[in-house]
Amino acid sequence: MKLCPACRQILDVTCFYSNSATSSKLSVYCKECTKHRVIEYQSTERGKIQNRARVKAWRDRRPPRQHPQRKYPITHFERQADVYHRLLLLGYRVRGEYKIGNSRLDLIVFDDNDSPWFIIEIKKRKSPLTEDELAIRRKRGQIKKYLEICQTVYLHCVSDDLTDFINMILNKHPLPHKDK
Ligand SMILES: [Zn+2]
C-alpha cells in the first residue's frame, strides 16, 4: 500500500506505475492521477512545446523508408488495363469491368461459345493469398460469388510477376485457334 500525494488515497502498489528513478521503484502519483497530470501538463504552453519536440525527435530517429512512397502511385485501373491488353493481344476474348448480376468483374475471358472461361481479379495486396485465405474466400465473399459465374477464378496480386502470370494463363487455358 502506498499514499498518492495528489488524491491523498492509500492505494495498492498495482495502482502505481513502476519508476526506476524513485526509491520505492514506483511512480509518485497513482496511475489515475499521473494520467490527469500528464493531460494537464500537455495543455500548458511548456507541455505543448515539449510534446512537439518529442514528436520531432521520434520522427528524426525513424529510419528512412526503404521504398519511398510514390507521389502518384500506379492505380488499380492501370494494373487491370495492363493484364487486359496483354490478354487481348494474345487473342483472348477478354472484357474489363464486366457486370454480371450484382458483380462487377475486374476481367473476364469468354471462350468460343461465349461462356465465361475464367475470371481474373486484380488484388492490391503485395503478398499472394495463402491457401487458407483462399479457402475461406472460396466459401464466402467475393470469390464465392464469382465461382457461381465461372469455375475458374485467378487472383493477380500487385507483387506477382505479370509475365509469369500471363504464361500461367497461356499454359492452363491454351487458345484453341493456336492449334488450328
Ligand atoms: Zn492519486
- On whether both 54 and 88 belong to a single domain, the answer is no
Which residues are CB-contacts of 172 (< 8 A; sequence separation ≥ 6)? Answer: 152
Look at residue 11 and tell me if it is in a domain: yes
- On whether both 33 and 85 belong to a single domain, the answer is no
Look at residue 69 and tell me if it is in a domain: no
Quote the ligand 1 centre to 10 CA distance (angstroms).
9
Look at residue 154 and tell me if it is in a domain: yes
pLDDT single digits (tens) 147-170: 888 889 998 887 778 899 999 999
- Last residue in a domain, options 19, 37, 61: 61
- On whether both 55 and 115 belong to a single domain, the answer is no
- On whether both 96 and 32 belong to a single domain, the answer is no
Residue 177 confidence class, pLDDT cut points 50, 70, 90: low
In the three-class reduction of DSSP (H, G, I as helix; E, B as strand; rest coil), residue 36 is classed as helix
Cell representation of residue 118 = 475464367
In the three-class reduction of DSSP (H, G, I as helix; E, B as strand; rest coil), residue 57 is classed as helix
Looking at the 3D structure of the chain, how many domains does it have? Answer: 2
- On whether both 86 and 13 belong to a single domain, the answer is no
pLDDT single digits (tens) 51-93: 899 999 998 888 877 766 777 878 889 999 999 999 999 999 9
Domain range holding 17? 2-61
Q: What are phi and psi of 44, to 5 degrees?
A: -80, 160
Look at residue 71 and tell me if it is in a domain: no
Mean pLDDT of 2-20: 94
* CB neighbourhood size of 180 (10 A): 5
Quote the ligand 1 centre to 7 CA distance (angstroms).
4
Q: Say what the pLDDT of residue 25 is.
A: 92
- On whether both 169 and 108 belong to a single domain, the answer is yes
- On whether both 93 and 170 belong to a single domain, the answer is yes
Quote the ligand 1 centre to 35 CA distance (angstroms).
10
For the chain, how far is it from start to end, CA to CA, in angstroms?
90
Quote the ligand 1 centre to 42 CA distance (angstroms).
18
- On whether both 143 and 85 belong to a single domain, the answer is yes
- On whether both 80 and 162 belong to a single domain, the answer is yes
